[in-house]
Amino acid sequence: MAVRAIRGAIQVDGDSREEILEGSAELVSAVLKRNDLTSDEVISILFTATPDLTAEFPAYAARLLGLTDVPLMCATEIAVPGAMPRVLRLLAHVETDLARADLRHVYLRGAAALRRDLPS
């Protein structure tokens, strides 16, 4: 099995605990489902949030999904002028037999505009 990295992002409607947890859970679930992965195949996940999202740690949603023994970390995206607001991103390191070209990176809701080159 190879170690691969999968990217993903989701734009949430606001900076509330519920919206961050819901968006983060939706993103993690979509990454796992679209790449046919189980939690045992996840090595680690780095979450980032734009500076306007501070009400909750995105990683907490992954814990609620059952990723209790996976190393998780949260960080703040750099504040680039004009960047899309309210975006949660992840970089997941996984063990998989998928070739790099077969990985499905996941961009949901408004964040889909960040990667129009990817299939939905």
Please list the active-site residues.
7, 63, 74, 77, 89, 107, 115
CA distance 62 to 24: 7
Output the six-digit token pair for 2: 């190879």
Q: What is the 3-state secondary structure (H, E, C) of 21-65?
A: HHHHHHHHHHHHHHCCCCHHHEEEEEEEECCCCCCCCHHHHHHHC
